Amino acid sequence: MLRLAVATNSETYERMESPLADREIEVGHVATSERAIPLTENPYGDYDAGFVYPSRLMEGAVADAMLSVPWVNGREAVLRSRNKADVLTRLGRADVPVPESVLVSNPADESALVAAFERVGPPVVVKPNSTTRGVGVTTATDLDSFLGIADYLDLVHDYRATGDRSFLVQEYLPDATDYRAMVVDGEYVGAVERRLPAAARERGRWKHNVHRGAVAEGVSLPADLRGLAERTAAVLDIDYLGVDLLVTDDRAVVNETNARPTIDSATKYAEGFWDTLAELVRKTAGE
């Protein structure tokens, strides 16, 4: 039986363990964070492949060296997807539709900030370039509010250990429907629509991140949106990818991607999802 190293023990691990075991793939948890790891002995055992490179890159490098296995999504795939500006640039140059966006490399002078705000046009979304789960994302409806947010980011970025000091200024599409499409080995395998409960919207919430209270319901996307998700994965050259789509009455754009997407309940995926994923794991392992 092939052994697959998984660096998370949350929902993804729990949901994949049994379906992959049915397909002769044993899933094992390799804990890479919040522990002490001796560097002269391997605490993990033998594996044939890794699922997704650990989110903490320093600890991940240690696990990678000890395991010495190929990953379904390796370090470069994770880093590429995490860098929102890189993703949007690659997709835009490949004629994949994306929101109007400007990257600000902090610190930037006020004239550059004003130019970014005016290019996109209010209201704008301001988001850190490399955070996940909606952390630090906000909106600004006027120039003074936007400059105030930039001032606050200057204070945060003044901390010397801060790695990525860039942020995005992006157009706000308040009426868009939010989808997360999953692509495995180049093939669309299902999608969810993410929406906020009415009570949350009434309180002024607008972010559709599930970790912040949104609900994800399985949907069947039309062929054009499926193709958009598959094309995104092909441009980025990432085998296991969540593609976030914002769809309005007259356009669809790729907003973000996630090379470490949580596996949802099986009912939200197309028939054959687990077979497709198992085949990708076997291909990664060289079988």
Calculate what percentage of the chain has a pLDDT beyond 70. 92
Contacts of 234 (CB under 8 A, 6+ apart): 186
Class of domain 2-73: alpha beta
Asked if omega into 54 is within 30° of 0 (cis), the reply is no
Host H or E run for residue 277: helix 273-285
CA distance 149 to 174: 20
Tell me how long the chain is.
287
Per-residue pLDDT at 101: 98
Q: 100-171 is classed in which CATH architecture?
A: 2-Layer Sandwich (3.30)
pLDDT band at 35 (very low <50, low <70, confident <90, very high): confident
Per-residue pLDDT at 217: 87
Q: Provide the pairing of β-strand 71-73 with 49-52.
A: parallel
Query: Which part of the chain is CATH 3.30.470.20?
Result: 174-280
Check the CA dihedral 220-221-226-229 and report its sign: negative
DSSP string, 134-195: TTT-EEESSHHHHHHHHHHHHHHHTSTT----EEEEEE--TT-EEEEEEEETTEEEEEEEEE
Per-residue pLDDT at 106: 85
Per-residue pLDDT at 266: 73
Query: Which part of the chain is CATH 3.30.1490.20?
Result: 100-171
Per-residue pLDDT at 259: 96
174-280 CATH pick, 3.90.220.20, 3.90.800.10, 1.10.150.20, 3.30.470.20: 3.30.470.20
pLDDT in tens, 167-195: 999 999 989 999 999 999 999 999 999 88
Query: Which part of the chain is CATH 3.40.50.20?
Result: 2-73
User: Is a pLDDT exceeding 90 seen at residue 114?
Assistant: yes
Decide: 52 and 73 in contact? Cβ < 8 Å.
yes
Global pTM value: 0.91
